[in-house]
With several copies, the nearest count.
Chain A
Amino acid sequence: MSTKRQLINEQGIRTDGRGVDDLRPIKITLGYLTHANGSVLYEQGKNKILAAVFGPSEVHPKHTELPDRAILRVRYRMAPFSTEERKSPAPTRREIELSMVIRNALESVVLTELFPRTVIDIFVEVLQADAGTRVAGVTAAALALADAGIPMRGITAGCAVGKADGKIVCDLNDIEDKEGEADMPVAYIPTLNKISLLQMDGLMTQEEFKQALSKAINSAMKVYQLQVNALKTKYIKREEVKK
């Protein structure tokens, strides 16, 4: 990563007008799909992530089931039209890695032990990509799981932080991701004070890493508030319908 243009001006304002700690606008549309058991369209900046959940369902082939808990199957994919250059529809190594990284982030929060011998399918489709899609994907998957009524130890909120023009900034946009000095996606469960996904690439001093982790957690808290509000609103609506 090499800095090519100014990413933060003298007033501390970023290319898209945000301050260093500001998140991009987030929009959550729960129940976006009709046929999935749970679904959400999650928008953060220009990111458009569609996540959906099926299950718990019977496992095929049978021998992959586990006697004491549900297995998770996670697929993360980017649409061919989601990026500046068209992406080939064949899965890339990055998509295979991120499918695993997202599954790992969710395994410990889903109460899989309640559904032995079943599978829970989680699909994360990036319809438009604008940096931070893996953590946006975890955020969206957590919402889709909640929408599907799958019990979890807590709601996972993801946000990336990074380094641009030597400063730690929250929720990188596409330019900052490409031209900044470091990218650090984090997924966090506020009610447990635990991290379920942590990656970093780029260059940071140890001091910067500490600061980045702290800012990532603050950002995740903000995302979490929006998740909770969206779920509450839907729950209240349902309750009202029942009356």
Chain B
Amino acid sequence: MSITREKPVVSKILQKEMLELLSNGVRIDKRKLDEYRKISYQTGIIEKADGSALLSLGETMVLVGVKVELGQPFGDTPDQGVLVVNAELLPLASQTFEPGPPDERAIALARYVDRSIRESNMVDLKSLVIVPGKVCYVVYVDVYVLDYGGNLIDASVLAAAKALENTKIRKYEVDENGKLTETENVENLKLNDFPISVTFGIINNKYFVDPNLEEEQTCDTFLTFTYTQTGNICAVMKNEQGLISPAQVIEMMELGWKKAKEISSLMLGGQKGNDQENIGNAGS
């Protein structure tokens, strides 16, 4: 059962102020309507993971760890490896997150991150087969939300993509009898793309990118687009209960691609040979 949740109380005064500012094209934290908060990330900080990235987007902080294990391909895709995405809304990230197994919000988040990676064809699943139909790599992507300051989706998609980029896999040799031997070689995961997601908050028919926590609690609804590096759309999700006009959907799709290009240059900028902290600002 999915059950209506009580919305967190945002003071009426704040809400009114927010709406007045918005009608003048400004936001309560002084950002412009199309301005992201500061994005920064570190990769490789969890040595025991095969790949990891800690990403902060304003006050939101997400840690993604990737583990690669051996497993069996699915029956209907014997020539592909397996990708598993899981998300945990840790209760220490927000008093509104309950301890316990992932609830519908965590599941929807994990499934959206999964779609963004899978449909963009980011991870080359065919390269993850070792013995077709028998043995393959299983790539576990665990999204750990550490601090919840709004816009979890963008932070999670970007952190997951960055963690996958950071992932190394151990190579195996297969002899003629199909027996596996672990080698000393490690390689990067073979990647085809780098998906970028852009989320809009919508209040009273006004939309803006990257809602922060207070905006998120006030918004009528949300719309997220994930773009490939060439500007294709690989995933879309409307979230929460409000309504959107078709015309605005198209406007957001176009503005989203503009923002995605900015974020992309930030995310891919310092990649080569550098696993250290990388701070940038996609805003303005």
B111 within 8 A of A: yes
A196 to B239, CA, bound (A): 9
Query: Closest Cβ of chain A: how far from B51's Cβ, in Å?
Result: 9
CB-CB < 8 A to B147: which residues of A? 33-35
CB-CB < 8 A to B93: which residues of A? 33, 35
Q: Is A35 in contact with B46, judged by CB distance below 8 angstroms?
A: no
Interface residues on chain B, number (Cβ under 8 Å): 72
Q: Is A195 in contact with B244, judged by CB distance below 8 angstroms?
A: yes
Q: Is A129 in contact with B48, judged by CB distance below 8 angstroms?
A: yes
Q: Is B63 in contact with A35, judged by CB distance below 8 angstroms?
A: no
A170 within 8 A of B: no
A64 within 8 A of B: yes
CB-CB < 8 A to A81: which residues of B? 46, 48-49, 52, 65-67, 140, 142
B257 within 8 A of A: yes
Query: Closest Cβ of chain B: how far from A201's Cβ, in Å?
Result: 5
Q: Is B249 in contact with A213, judged by CB distance below 8 angstroms?
A: yes
Query: How many A-B contacts if CB must be within 8 Å?
Result: 208
A27 within 8 A of B: no
Option from B91, B110, B148, B241 in Cβ contact (under 8 Å) with A121: B91
B99 within 8 A of A: yes
Q: Is B2 in contact with A52, judged by CB distance below 8 angstroms?
A: no
The verdict on A199 contacting B67 (CB below 8 Å), with A35-B95, A80-B140, A107-B241 known, is no
A1 to B125, CA, bound (A): 12
A93 within 8 A of B: yes
A193 within 8 A of B: yes
Q: Is B48 in contact with A46, judged by CB distance below 8 angstroms?
A: yes
Q: Is B2 in contact with A127, judged by CB distance below 8 angstroms?
A: no
Q: Is B49 in contact with A108, judged by CB distance below 8 angstroms?
A: no
Q: Is A203 in contact with B232, judged by CB distance below 8 angstroms?
A: yes
Q: Is A72 in contact with B110, judged by CB distance below 8 angstroms?
A: no
A51 to B4, CA, bound (A): 19
Query: Closest Cβ of chain B: how far from A64's Cβ, in Å?
Result: 7
A48 to B231, CA, bound (A): 37
Option from A102, A112, A201 in Cβ contact (under 8 Å) with B115: A201
The 9 tightest CB contacts between A and B, nearest first, are A81-B65, A107-B241, A52-B92, A200-B236, A194-B243, A71-B4, A99-B2, A81-B49, A123-B92
Given A189-B243, A210-B253, 9 extra CB contacts under 8 A: A34-B61, A36-B92, A85-B69, A89-B142, A94-B111, A194-B244, A197-B238, A201-B115, A204-B233
